[in-house]
Amino acid sequence: WYDFQGGCDLIAIDNPVLQVQIRSRPRGSYSTITQIAIEMKATGEVLRVHLDGRIENGITSGYSFYTTVPFPNIPSYSYDTQRIDLGDSCSDIKIHTYSYGLSLQAVGCDEVFGGSVGMCGDWDGNCVRFRNGTQFDVSGGTIDVKQRSPELAQDWMIPPAPPGNNLLWDPSTVCDASSRCGPSEAFNCYAMRRLQNG
């Protein structure tokens, strides 16, 4: 939807049931997700997944958590997958780990995802919105949307605490639209592969 290719700690999905936070980091000509945190609002339980392989699973009540690893003899770009079954028979969240970053996939019904907003879009409205409800303009193709996307990312940036609730490891207050990285940029390029920091 938004073609944001910079670095920012963002609210990807927010609704009355859960909140999903992502850390996007630039890699030179694109950006990737390096961390994901999921909070179950009713219990305050949190799952954190980091590109370097760290998993902190605090989700223990009423939700199923699975890790699957590909068969060793079958080529795959994915190292492993974390899956959270959200208990309504049709909703789950999958986090795929690749050498270059994490991938987030949310699938489900209105019981869990109804009313969701964030950088992943408006679940009920089939669009992307700012926090105030104003629809984000996705017209004009990728290049036009990419130029407008930093404003959307700034709007969905996780606010610093308090009052923000950044659940990611080492919270950041930097939100930079550039996909460039390096010593003179907002973010270094040190997290290019799995098992490295970032």
* pLDDT at 10 exceeding the cut of 50: yes
CA quadruple 38, 179, 107, 154: dihedral, nearest 10: 60
Tell me the pLDDT band of 194, cut-offs 50, 70 and 90.
very low
Distance CA(61)–CA(86), nearest Å, equals: 11
Confidence of residue 57 (pLDDT cuts 50, 70, 90): confident
The answer on pLDDT for 77 being more than 70 is no
What are the CB-based long-range contacts (under 8 Å, 24+) for 54-59?
54/169, 55/82, 59/84
pLDDT value for 2: 64
**pTM (2 d.p.):** 0.86
